[in-house]
Amino acid sequence: MKTYRKEIWFDTPHRRDFINITSQVEQCLAESGVKEGLCLVNAMHITASVFINDDESGLHHDFEVWLEKLAPEKPYSQYRHNNSREGCCAGEDNADAHLKRTIMGREVVVAITKGKLDFGPWEQIFYGEFDGRRKKRVLVKIIGE
Amino acid sequence: MKTYRKEIWFDTPHRRDFINITSQVEQCLAESGVKEGLCLVNAMHITASVFINDDESGLHHDFEVWLEKLAPEKPYSQYRHNNSREGCCAGEDNADAHLKRTIMGREVVVAITKGKLDFGPWEQIFYGEFDGRRKKRVLVKIIGE
Amino acid sequence: MKTYRKEIWFDTPHRRDFINITSQVEQCLAESGVKEGLCLVNAMHITASVFINDDESGLHHDFEVWLEKLAPEKPYSQYRHNNSREGCCAGEDNADAHLKRTIMGREVVVAITKGKLDFGPWEQIFYGEFDGRRKKRVLVKIIGE
């Protein structure tokens, strides 16, 4: 069995962003030499997401509006996480980012067949950032042969 | 390591539908000959879902009502995706289907133990269609030994 | 290829609860002897969740409030699942638990690297119970070498 691991780093200029990382994952797959197996791609941070959907800017706008409706950023005071004084969370304002990432998902698992990501016609992998303007990363782990 | 791949095709008569595919996935597992490993089942289309829940018609009705509340189909004009004129999306009316599938999830990963899907008492695998009346498919990928 | 399987059991005193199971999964990984591979952790019940997020009590309170807003427990009569008279579901009151678990997710897949769960700085694995006060369980399945 072969295994492969790589981190992909981000530092988005905005609080929220969607970034197509399909070609970077394909490059990982090429480097791995795996022809048949599984590819896990997950956010390593709990206010970010990895998901599969369409690379269409209108849809990404719809996601932004929809997530703000389901889990609004403001007022910050509506979330106890933002008012907590314990440990990591003193002075946080990112409770909504934890909720938005929960909707969008932490990870995807993609089949590898004949050395390719085994995708349907419109499937693309995205990094979803919900609390950006800092360095964060995604893990790519591949197993197979 | 053994690997196995199969596509399961659908052409649902309605825009939205839930279809129990557990027995089809079990048949894939039997064909694979894998006794210990992992089974990935994912929608290959971005307006459909694969998820695990109960095979109970009342619950499926509740899912339909709930998803319409969280991500209503109409009015179509509320979504920019439906009004986009670029690429794949000219004249689309399925933005809600992308959102509904996000709630329900793209994929499940199921453990394989002693040649069986390693399920709790009520777990069943469903295909969730949110933009049907066309040919679409699910991928089953199995790895193990 | 090595494989490993274990069930972790719960019997929560409340209807809803979040329990950090990271150390239990780490113990499974140590027992498995796997150094490189994938670890699947999934709820075996369809009214419970396994998810990754922050171990912060303010955030957990926010999750509780948010899930009640998106999928309220009461009135029970709003859900057809609760009024069904077929099979498993006669007299159920847990339709909301099926919906809440859908938001939070059934499973996580975690990379294993150098014998450790390959986590970002704040990632912790939680069991999310939405219909407790009974014995329920989580499956840990590890494959790799």
The answer to whether residue B93 neighbours chain A at the CB level (below 8 Å) is no
Cβ atoms of residues B70 and C72 within 8 Å? no
pLDDT in tens, C49-96: 999 999 999 999 999 999 999 999 999 999 999 987 555 555 789 999
Predicted confidence at residue C90, as pLDDT, reads: 57
Sign of CA dihedral A144, C109, B145, B126: negative
Q: What is the ipTM of this complex?
A: 0.95
Mean residue pLDDT across chain B? 95
Predicted confidence at residue A92, as pLDDT, reads: 86
Closest CA to B51 of B95, B103, B10: B103
pLDDT in tens, A123-141: 999 999 999 999 999 999 9
Mean pLDDT of C88-117: 92
Per CB-CB distance under 8 Å, the chain C contacts of A43 are 120
pLDDT in tens, A54-106: 999 999 999 999 999 999 999 999 999 998 755 555 578 999 999 999 999 99
* Single-letter residue type at A111: A
Q: Which residues contact A27 (CB under 8 A, 6 or more apart)?
A: none
pLDDT in tens, C20-47: 999 999 999 999 999 999 999 999 999 9
pLDDT class for B97, splitting at 50, 70, 90?
very high
Query: Residue A141 in 3-state DSSP?
Result: strand
Q: Which residues contact A82 (CB under 8 A, 6 or more apart)?
A: A76, A89, A92, A93, A94, A95, C58
Residue with tokens 């309170």: C61
Predicted confidence at residue B143, as pLDDT, reads: 98
Most distant pair of Cα atoms in chain C: their distance: 51
Token pair, residue C143, equals: 């494959």
Per CB-CB distance under 8 Å, the chain A contacts of C106 are none
Task: Return d(Cα A22, Cα A39) in angstroms, integer.
Answer: 12
Predicted confidence at residue C83, as pLDDT, reads: 86
Q: How far is CA B144 from the centre of its chain?
A: 23
Stretch among A46-50, B45-49, C84-88 having the lowest mean pLDDT:
C84-88
Mean pLDDT of B2-18: 98
Query: Residue C9 in 3-state DSSP?
Result: strand
The answer to whether residue B99 neighbours chain A at the CB level (below 8 Å) is yes
Cβ atoms of residues C44 and B120 within 8 Å? yes
Strand partners, C39: C110, C142
Q: Which of A40, A82, A87 sits opposite C109 (nearest CB)?
A: A40
pLDDT at B84 over 80: no
pLDDT at A45 over 80: yes
The answer to whether residue A102 neighbours chain B at the CB level (below 8 Å) is no
Q: Which of A37, A52, A62 sits opposite B79 (nearest CB)?
A: A62
pLDDT at A33 over 80: yes
Distance from CA of C5 to the nearest CA of B (A): 8
Predicted confidence at residue C85, as pLDDT, reads: 54
Please, which chains are in contact with B (at least 3 CB pairs closer than 8 A)?
A: A, C
* Single-letter residue type at A72: P
Predicted confidence at residue A86, as pLDDT, reads: 55
